Amino acid sequence: MAGEEKDPTAGLLPAVPLTLDGAYILHQMFRVRWSAWRALGASDQKSILDRATAMFTSMERNKEDPSALFSLLGHKGDLMAVHFRHTLDDLNRAELRLAHSRFHEFLEPTTSYVSVIELGLYEGSVKLYRELTAKRLQAGTAEWNREVEVELAKQRQSAQPRLWPEIPHRRYLCFYPMNKLRGESKNWYSQPIVERQSMMREHGMIGRHYAGRVIQIISGSIGFDDWEWGVDLFADDPLVFKKLVYEMRFDEASAVYGLFGAFYVGLQFSAAHLGTFLEGKTPDFA
């Protein structure tokens, strides 16, 4: 942001933006033990498949706490299960339910990711912090905290559909974790909140250009997993992943401060077509 006039109030506002948090998410990536599966007799395969299909179908149909299956591309895995749940306890129950199924004997976990849907409130935070500072309230005091909670309650109510979504019914998914840079000369977390607000506004404007073509779900993972955020992109045209992520590389928030982990791309399919997947064929979406 060279050449821009510095905001004299930037250093007076709290550094940490407010967030709204919703559904917990677990991504599970597996390799299928194909040789062991093919070595089973037809009767055993059918018995295991029937039970696995019933299990995943019941998870898939639960609109409050949904799960979905994805056929992965590349060497990082064959199958990905994604679970949205209201609590970590619910995620644990989903994980254990799968782990104790006979089908799990033919799966080799490759990695996983735990996070919680997060809506960052940079714009609202800066506005609120300025209003409270103008009232001569001190950050962290009981009165300040009450004002913040009132605002969060309003925001939370209007954001319910985004905090507790169904898993988008789109054919393709791109998932990746990311961090913000903490380097020797550039450090996202040392920048004043108003400068981060400006960068995130620019970042968000790019995403809006893709409205209707991609559904983006951001989840926070600080304290939950090895990266700071997880990003899920859902679309019916996979090329949108390349175009969106590439375009975002050029905004300051990504070009200077973005660090990206491994990317996972998969095809969503109905649990009813698990048998097709296990036959080594591309499973249908519907």
Q: Which two tokens stand for residue 271?
A: 């649990």
What is the tens place of the pLDDT at every residue in 205-236? 887 788 889 999 999 999 999 999 999 999 99
pLDDT of residue 208: 77
φ, ψ for residue 69, nearest 5 deg: -110, 145
What is the tens place of the pLDDT at every residue in 105-156? 999 999 999 999 999 999 999 999 999 999 999 999 999 999 999 999 999 9
Segment (H or E) for 205: helix 193-208
Is 9's pLDDT higher than 70?
Answer: no
Determine the Cα–Cα distance for residues 19 and 184; give it in Å rounded to an integer: 27
Is 254's pLDDT higher than 80?
Answer: yes
The percent of residues above 70 in pLDDT, for the chain, comes to 96
CATH hierarchy code of domain 23-116: 3.30.70.1030
As annotated, the active-site residues are 176
Q: How far is CA 37 from the centre of its chain?
A: 31
* Helix ranges restricted to H, 64-192: 88-99, 122-134, 142-158, 160-163
Least confident interval from 10-19, 163-172, 215-224, 225-234: 10-19
Mean per-residue pLDDT, 161-187:
94
Which distant-in-sequence residues (6+ apart) come within 8 Å of 133 by Cβ? Answer: 9, 12, 13
Is 267's pLDDT higher than 60?
Answer: yes
Domain layout of the chain by residue ranges: 23-116
Return the higher-pLDDT residue of 12 and 143: 143
Q: Which two tokens stand for residue 130?
A: 């300025």
Is 39's pLDDT higher than 80?
Answer: yes
pTM: 0.91
154 burial type by CB count under 10 A (0-12 exposed, 13-18 middle, 19+ buried): exposed
Is 195's pLDDT higher than 50?
Answer: yes
